[in-house]
Amino acid sequence: MKRKLLSLCCAFALVVSMAAVSAVDSQASSDEPMIDGSYLTHDDESVGYDTKITRGEDLLTGYSKGVEIGPGKFYAGGSTLAAHTVREVGVSVNVERAQKGDDHWTGYTVWHKFNQNADRVSANKLLEVEGGYYYRVCSTHSANDDVSSSFTDGVYVAKPYEEP
């Protein structure tokens, strides 16, 4: 009987603590500014997973990733995974930027990569960018005629240090 009561108390404490942590996390993210569904963060990296646009049998998943490597340096990339080997699998990676107070993202650079008779493709670049902006990565994923897209939150890239 004592063990049951102790187990019940521990389970209750666990549930209460999980609810408290969840409430704190959701409150923090709602305070961050947002543009077109992307929060403007000071995190080092952000990953966004695909949202299906078509329902097919070829496309499995895709994701976008953006990482601040250092002041003025931003890694951006996207990957697409097909459910099996397909005629053509592709990813288009679009990097956008904005500043706090903006109401839309502005295109920065874009590139594409396609593989034939494959089940995956990845495309990434290390970019030297202008600091003082938030950068996000938006990717379009395709496997034959199946298409989806993904995007990250905005990652702040600091300005490079300049000697006086």
Residue pLDDT, tens place only, 83-98: 999 999 999 999 999 9
Q: Write down the residue that tokens 């409430």 correspond to.
A: 23
Pair 85, 132: CB distance under 8 Å: no
Q: Is the pLDDT reported for residue 15 higher than 80?
A: no
Whether residues 42 and 86 fall in one domain: yes
Domain tally, the chain: 2
Please provide the average confidence, as pLDDT, over all residues in the chain: 84
105 closest CA partner among 33, 46, 159, 31: 33
Structural domain including 41 reads 35-157
d(CA 85, CA 25): 40
pTM confidence score: 0.78
Same domain, 21 and 62: no
91 in a domain, yes or no? Answer: yes
My answer on whether 120 and 49 are in the same domain is: yes
- In terms of domains, do 8 and 55 share one? no
Backbone angles phi, psi at 73, to 5 degrees: -130, 130
Distances (CA, A) of 88 to 24, 40, 80, 95: 44, 34, 11, 23
Closest among 69, 49, 36 to 155, alpha carbons compared? 69
Say what the pLDDT of residue 8 is: 41
- What are the tokens at 109? 């650079």
pLDDT tens for each residue of 152-162:
999 999 998 65
Query: Domain with 127 in it: what CATH number?
Result: 2.60.40
162 part of a folded domain? no
Residue 164 within a domain: no
Q: What is the CA radius of gyration of the chain?
A: 21
Co-location of 8 and 64 in the same domain: no
Same domain, 43 and 19: no
Residue 54 pLDDT:
59
Percent of the chain with pLDDT over 90: 71
- What per-residue confidence (pLDDT) applies to 32? 82
pLDDT in tens, 26-62: 334 557 899 999 999 999 999 999 976 656 899 999 9
d(CA 110, CA 94): 4
What's the pLDDT band for 78 if we cut at 50, 70, 90? very high
Confidence of residue 147 (pLDDT cuts 50, 70, 90): very high
In a domain, 100, yes or no: yes
User: Which run of H or E residues covers position 29?
Assistant: helix 2-30
Query: Which DSSP state fits 20?
Result: H
